[in-house]
Each structure stands twice: as structure tokens, then as C-alpha cells.
Amino acid sequence: MSVKDRMSGNEAVAYAIKQVNPDVMPAFPITPSTEIPQLVSSYIANNEMDTEFIPVESEHSSMSATIGAEAAGARSLTATSSCGLALMWEELLLAASNRMPCVLALVNRTLSGPININCDHSDAMGARDTGWIQIFAESNQEAYDNFIQAYPIAEDPRVHLPVMICQDGFITSHAVMNIELNEDNEVKEFVGEYKPEEFLLNNNKPIAIGPYAISSYVMEARKAQEEAMENSKEVIIEVAKRYKERFGRGFELFEEYRLDDADYIMVIMGSAAGTAKQAVDDLREKGMKVGVLKIRVFRPFPAEELAKALSNAKGIAIMERTESYNGHGGPLCAELRAALYENKVFTNVVCYTYGLGGRDFTVDHVYEVFEEVKDVTENGKKVTQHRYINLRTNKA
């Protein structure tokens, strides 16, 4: 039975952490994720959970301690944003390569420079190739639901990889929304107890974690990681199915919004998907066949599945909330275009960059994007790829 409440995204994730009640949480504060460890430490102080909270001196240390605790056999997590994630860079790779099924609550914030505390996806996208599963939320509800599903995904023996649960800084992390919370006992039953097969404190079976690997073994280890990442797609779907059966809210690798007969489709991640959906509803009333494909799981990248979902589109707008500085688009555009090509889906594609550093992205911008993609498709309009939306020197 669900309990209706009103919470910010940070409150929702902290509440999910309380319900899961992991063993260890090291953390170092950074805006806009600071509230998560703050709230968790308050729950602990009030005897509402018995997680061991470890205040550390930096984000590098928080991930180091998370890995150490996980290696010892404890269910562990941390939270961070932006430069904090960048400071963890070395440790992110270690967590994945050592196959630690820990969880990171990432509140997305732009990376410097110039320094800015608002939302874009440059932090998560910078870590996209560290070997972590990455799941994005559109709303506070999804941030809550995604976190509860994280450990069953990470700890599955077919996966055993760390999971990054992402939500947009300030847009969801601090905005208060209506939310449905699950009962504590049902969350605990869904997540289950962590019973690792191998861990450092098992004195009956000594093991080494993170040993030096000579050249004869590194490629095999990387291949094993890659296979685990591929396996995680099936596990993510299975866990989501169980979650829907238990709690009534369903999830897939991505969400298809009004795609059945859509000629023009916008592909987007995170909170801006809600803006795009509203614009789609508005344009549908005017007779324009448009839809939104919201990517929930960026790693593993569901290439074949996305190509199939987009195969009937006449035109596609791919929306990036980061900049790769490669001159022709960001990571989502590059990977999705490759997926379309590999699966022989040939259609008109235009890549757009929006919302960097928290720049506004409105329904009017969505209208303009759809009109332009339609113009490209029907009238052969020539456009520059890698276009910036709502740029002050060049209004889109």
C-alpha cells in the first residue's frame, strides 16, 4: 500500500535510503546533493535507521570508503554532484573494475568552468565510460523508485556492477512534488538482505581485492565487465517488472510517449522530458504527429531497442544537456546516431544542445525544435548540426 506525501527529490532519495537501510554511507557535502547525506545522518541520529555514517574529508575519500566497505561485505553507498564526481574519477573506475555493487546518488550539476551550481548532465556524461550503470529520473517519484531498484540490479550475480542513480540538480532535487511512498517493510522485502559470496572479512576464505594484473589478464577482466554490463539490461527489465507488480509503477529502459503514430520524435533524458511531453500534448491538439522518447537507462546503452522504437520516425531531434567539445554533438547524439546506422534506420536527425548551466528550456523551445525538424524533413531545410537552444547570441 502506498503512502501519499510531498517531497523534494533529495528528500525522496534520502527516504528511500532510510527504507533500504544500507550498512555504510560515507559522504562529503556538495551542492545540490548535500541534503541527502544530511537527511540520512538525521535519520541515523533519530534511531530511524542503523546505517554507519562516515563523514570524510573529500569526495575521493567518500568513494574510497564506499569501495572499502563494499569489499568488506557491507551494502554501501554515497552521494555527490558535479566536481565531487570528478574528484572520484579514479575511484569510480576501481568500483566498477573490482565489481563492487555499490550505489551512488548523483544529483546532476554542471562541471566547471565557468563555475555554476545549476543543472546539466556534464558530470554524469563525463563518467559514462567508467563502467557504472546509469539510470536517470524525470521526476522526484522516479528518483525514489529508481533508488529502490538499484541494489537488486547491482547485486544480481549476472551483474555485480555499481549503479549511479541520477536526478537533475535543483529541478528535481529541491522542487517539492506529490509522491507515493512504499511501506517500509515492503521495500525491505523487495530489496532483500545482501549476502555477498566473496568479501574481505570472510576469514574462512581469504581473497584479494584490486590486485595488480599483468597484461595477460587485463583484457579478459574488461571483457567480463562488458558482458556484465550487457547482462544488466535483462536484469534492469526484470527488476522493473517485479517493482511494477509489487508497487504498481512500471519502468523500462526508456519511455515511449505518444510514439505509436509519431512522425517526429524528440529523444531526451531527465527532467526536461516533462516539458517535452507537455509540448507534445499541445502540438497533438493542433494535429501534429509528434512524440517523446525519454531515455531512462543510459548505461548500458539500449542501442538496438532504441533503433527499433525510432524506426518509423520521419525526423528525430536528439537533445543533449552536455557538451563533448568534438565539434559535432554530444555523447547521446553520437551513440544514438551510431545505433540507428548499425540497425539500418535511416532518417533525418538533428542534434540540439540545451539547458547547460541551468539555462531555461520551455515548451516554446520544444515547439520550435519540432517545427524545424519537420521543415528539414518536408522541405529540405539546411540546418547546422549541434545547434544550441536558447543561446543569447543566437535565439533558436
Question: Is the pLDDT score of 396 beyond 50?
Answer: no
Residue 7 — φ and ψ, nearest 5°?
A: -150, 155
Its pTM surpasses 0.95: yes
pLDDT of 73 reads 97
The residues pairing with 181 across neighbouring beta strands, listed in sequence order, are 3
* DSSP letter string, 132-182: -EEEE-SSHHHHHHHHHHHHHHHTSTTT---EEEEEETTTTTTSEEEEEEP
Q: Pick the range with the lowest mean pLDDT from 132-141, 170-179, 264-273, 318-327.
A: 318-327
Of the CA atoms within 13 Å of residue 194, those in its CB half-sphere come to 26
Domains located in the chain, CATH noted:
3-247 (3.40.50.970), 254-388 (3.40.50.920)
Using CA of residue 246, residue 293, residue 351, residue 369, what is the dihedral sign? Answer: negative
pLDDT, residue 106, reads 98
316 torsion bin: left (phi>0), alpha (psi -120 to 50), beta (else): beta
- The average pLDDT across 156-160 equals 98
Q: Which residue has the higher pLDDT, 385 or 297?
A: 297
Higher pLDDT, 299 or 1: 299
pLDDT in tens, 41-95: 999 999 999 999 999 999 999 999 999 999 999 999 999 999 999 999 999 999 9
Q: What is the pLDDT of residues 299-331, one digit of tens each?
A: 999 999 999 999 999 999 999 999 999 888 899
Q: What is the pLDDT of residues 199-224, one digit of tens each?
A: 999 988 999 998 899 999 999 999 99
